[in-house]
Amino acid sequence: MPFLLPAHTGLRAVAALLVVCFHYSIHVGDPGAAVNRILLNGYLGVDLFFVLSGFIIHHVYRAQFAEGRIAARYATFLRYRLARIYPVHVAMLLVLVFFQILASAHSGGGLPADYSPGAILAALALVQGWFGIAAPNGVAWSVSAEWFVYLVYPGALVLSCRLPVAVRIAVLCGLLLILQLFWQQNPLLRVVPEFALGAFAYEAALRLRHRLQEFRWLGAAVFAATLLMLGVFQPVLIVPLGFCFAALLVALVNPRDDLARVLSGPVALYLGEISYSLYMVHSPWREILKKAAHRFEINLSSASGMVLSVVTALALAALVYHTVEMPARHLLRGRKSQAPQDIGLTSMSSLDVLGPLEPARDRTVG
């Protein structure tokens, strides 16, 4: 049975909060050079999500799809992934469209371009990120990009298993070169190399995890190096940063690692559980906060204002997680909700960037 990865759930919270703080920091004055640069680079938390997704998807499905029986498992794999990412995505889309229609009716104007029928259909089909289509809830471009790698992962894995190791490494190097040159031009040129890097990082973790037990400080050291890169270098070099993310994922497979112990705590685990809802609600909530601040003369241009914004976004994310995300997931998967202790890896270890995967030991999955 695959080894447990609880710290990677807590790491999802870190990635989500980086993105949230990036968006919310527009209200805040300069809090200090290094801190400000980390906030300005917080959007790169999405890249941590992508690398982490490749790591965890590979962790859970590597053995199953490597056997080559894609046809029997592909539909179930996609159904489980769609059940995880789609309900909150559609819920936020419907809420935003509803309020935009009300706002347009009140002002007497038309709908913005990103609320056109074509944009809404693209968002519903999860292809808006593929073609650079502006759609409601702009952060959902990354959900669209994730959906693409879910579609191609099983076939890519079977193909890669038939290639020599040297060829696989050469392909990865080519993908990383594409990432460095074109990552800002199309989301697919960003997600595919980083997802592949995460999968390679998992292969490294399989070989190194027993040797890592002597290095309890390694996770904290890599995390510090990552923050240093985010806080010092501007612009950040995306491929070296990706390697920092990959090294962090490998270091955290060691349950004795000091940082892994922190990220495996109950608070970090819960924040990791609600991180997808947080990611999806924080941008619309930001717009509501901006309008409320203007109307009621609330000062959000301070560190305390930013803390208030983040805390209220977390509360809203928890509400969405318990009322939309979890119930809809269990409904679409066609089975009753199970307690974490009954489903092995799901709640603590097999959690990718966009939510829990099914336990690898459940052979009915994917």
What's the chain's Rg over C-alpha atoms? 20
Q: Are residues 357 and 72 in contact, defined by beta-carbon separation less than 8 angstroms? A: no
Q: What are phi and psi of 15, to 5 degrees?
A: -60, -45
Distance CA 296, CA 123 (A): 33
pTM for the model: 0.89
Residue 264 CA: distances (Å) to CA of 4, 198, 254, 273: 11, 20, 11, 12
Distance CA 272, CA 91 (A): 20
Question: Which tokens sit at 260?
Answer: 């892994």
- DSSP letter at 347 equals T
Listed in sequence order, the residues at least 6 apart from 289 whose beta carbon sits closer than 8 Å to its beta carbon are 300, 309, 312
Residue the block writes with tokens 């009753």: 336
Positive or negative, the CA dihedral 257, 18, 277, 83 is negative
pLDDT score, position 181: 95
pLDDT score, position 2: 54
Buried b (16+ CB within 10 A) or exposed e, 184-195: eeebbbbbbbbb
How do the pLDDT tens digits run along the chain, 366 residues long? 456 789 999 999 999 999 999 998 764 555 556 678 888 899 999 999 999 999 999 999 988 887 777 877 899 999 999 999 999 999 999 999 999 999 888 888 888 999 999 999 999 999 999 999 999 999 999 999 999 999 999 999 999 989 999 999 999 999 999 999 999 999 999 999 999 999 999 999 999 988 998 899 999 999 999 999 998 877 789 999 999 999 999 999 999 999 999 999 999 999 999 999 999 999 999 888 888 877 777 777 777 788 889 999 999 999 999 999 999 999 998 865 443 332 222 333 333 333 333 333 332 222
For residue 263, the cross-strand partners are none
pLDDT score, position 24: 86
Distance CA 286, CA 115 (A): 18
Q: Strand locations in 41-99, DSSP E? A: none
Q: Are residues 254 and 215 in contact, defined by beta-carbon separation less than 8 angstroms? A: yes
pLDDT score, position 267: 97
Q: What are phi and psi of 355, to 5 degrees?
A: 130, 175
Q: 6-24 vs 266-273: helix axis angle to the nearest 10? A: 60
pLDDT score, position 28: 52
In three-state secondary structure terms, 352 is strand
pLDDT score, position 360: 33
Residue type at 237? L
Q: Strand locations in the chain, DSSP E? A: 351-352, 355-356
pLDDT score, position 292: 82
- DSSP letter at 236 equals P
pLDDT score, position 289: 86
Question: Which tokens sit at 337?
Answer: 């909700």
For residue 352, the cross-strand partners are 355
For residue 355, the cross-strand partners are 352
Distance CA 108, CA 81 (A): 40
Question: Which tokens sit at 257?
Answer: 């690692």
